[in-house]
Amino acid sequence: MTTAQTSPQKTDAGQLKMVRKAAIGSAVGTTIEAYDFQIYGVASALVFSTVFFSDVPSSLGVVFSFATLSVGFLARPFGAIIFGHYGDRVGRKTLLVTALMGAGGCTTVMGMLPTTASVGIWAPILLVFLRLLQGIFHGGEQGGAVLMAVEHAPAEKRGWYGSWTFLGSPGGTLLAAGVMGVVTAATGDNFLTWGWRIPFLLSFLLLGVGLIIRFTVTESPKFAKVKSEEGKTKAPLIQVIQKSWKFVLISIGVNLGFNAFIWVLISYSLAYGTEYLSLPRELMLRGTQIGSVVMIISILVFARLSDKIGRTPVMFFGAAFLVIYPFPMFALLNTAEPVVVVLALVIGFCGSSAVFGPLAAFLVELFPTKVAYSGVSVGYSLGAVLGGGLAPFIASLLMNVSGGQSWTVSLYLTLAGLISFISMIVLRRIRTSDKALNLAK
């Protein structure tokens, strides 16, 4: 693994400036992406069951709302394949700009949709279509943003600068929860009539900021070098499947457990707190905001630690946390005590960062540069689909089927965490075997 063991190389002021600009550009882009995705997740928990699924019981309406959330995740692999192919042939920058424009545009249009009360079944149909399209664009965004940050960075700081990309996730969560909280308080009784639209329409302003920053970042130097020396890769996805399929499966597995946990924490916990524990929306949103701030700090700490001691030890700890914490988390939530509920969320955001912080550099280091856009995007997006895409829907379904037994959701998250943990074990064995083969030659 290329981590802290790599000898430091001097980086001049001009290079360092571009490294930081690439990292900031990736962070801002993924913040907007996360805002788009997570404002939808918050709205799925608090709004859509009333606005788009008003003809069914409220608990079933929440299930349908989270089902539309899953549609965006299901579309991600298609975006990963499309954007990964052209990202490995044309370049990272052009595809990232396209992905950002498409995703932000979909979010803005969602804020203009008519409701079921106005146009009937066409309202949820249009919502699902836009969510599908948004998922395709997001599938091309994440992998490219990760590559831009890590491929610009010096080898001994890949974890640190790569983690800036994933700061966008808690940053987007913080922004989404904050905007939704302010809008909820400001619009009051009008929140479910027109107030919920404001956070979606704000995406247009964020899109403008993101594009300005992203246009100023140069193409990935590693990709530019490989392209000039080896030319365009004809079929990058086929090469990934033929030569690196084990690492695709590992990246899927590692990301699956994390995504399942974090999306239950970000999205389903809001519905659980308001629907089953009768807690105020404002309290659950406040807990998410505080947790997001803690996660930003934790991501940086764990990423820097991975540069020092290696990705594997840090991510093993994070995967173990994903296995152990779900049962204690719901036990804390079920107290319905405001301070304890917020603490439960904060601990979840902090502990899971041990996986998320080093993840950017971890994924990039699994694949050769010439096919990295395809490898990272497909692995990451499939993990996001099987984990985060289905998690809120499965959690809400389990609660309905079990008659409100939260242990069913805890068990589901523990099993998902086990997949991440086992994936890390398999990776260690593969690398130990490869090392032994190289020494034997």
For the chain, the structural domain boundaries read 13-436
pLDDT-based confidence at residue 426 (cuts at 50, 70, 90): very high
Tokens of residue 85, six digits: 């192919």
Per residue in 69-115, pLDDT tens? Answer: 778 878 888 888 888 888 787 777 888 888 888 888 999 999 999 98
Nearest CA-CA partner of 141 in 84, 196, 183: 84
Q: Which residue has the tokens 């990451």?
A: 380
Q: How far apart are CA 62 and CA 431, in angstroms?
A: 44
pLDDT-based confidence at residue 14 (cuts at 50, 70, 90): low
Highest mean predicted confidence (pLDDT) among 119-128, 218-227, 333-342, 376-385: 333-342
Nearest CA-CA partner of 27 in 152, 162, 153, 159: 162
The per-residue pLDDT for 232 is 67
Dihedrals phi, psi of 103, to nearest 5 degrees = -65, -45
The per-residue pLDDT for 429 is 86
Indicate the average pLDDT of the chain.
Answer: 84
Q: Report CA torsion sign: 229, 235, 238, 240.
A: positive
Q: How far apart are CA 68 and CA 48, in angstroms?
A: 10
pLDDT at position 5 over 60: no
- By the 8 A CB rule, do 85 and 146 touch? no
* Length in residues, the chain: 441
Highest mean predicted confidence (pLDDT) among 150-159, 361-370, 419-428: 419-428
Q: How far apart are CA 84 and CA 143, in angstroms?
A: 8
Amino acid at 30: T
pLDDT-based confidence at residue 435 (cuts at 50, 70, 90): low
Q: How far apart are CA 413 and CA 254, in angstroms?
A: 13
pLDDT-based confidence at residue 231 (cuts at 50, 70, 90): low
Per residue in 165-199, pLDDT tens? Answer: 888 888 887 788 788 888 888 888 888 888 889 99
Tokens of residue 53, six digits: 């699924």
- By the 8 A CB rule, do 358 and 165 touch? no
pLDDT at position 134 over 50: yes
pLDDT at position 292 over 70: yes
DSSP 8-state secondary structure symbol assigned to residue 91: -
Q: Which CATH class is domain 13-436?
A: mainly alpha
Kindly report which listed range (39-53, 200-214, 307-321, 383-397) carries the lowest average pLDDT score.
39-53
The per-residue pLDDT for 7 is 42
The per-residue pLDDT for 181 is 80
Q: How far apart are CA 38 and CA 203, in angstroms?
A: 12
Map 314-356 to HEC letters.
Answer: HHHHHHHHHHHCHHHHHHHHCCCCHHHHHHHHHHHHHHHHHHH
Per residue in 248-289, pLDDT tens? Answer: 999 999 999 999 999 899 888 988 998 889 898 889 888 988
- Which residues lie closer than 8 Å to 438 by C-beta, 6 or more apart? none
- By the 8 A CB rule, do 178 and 38 touch? no
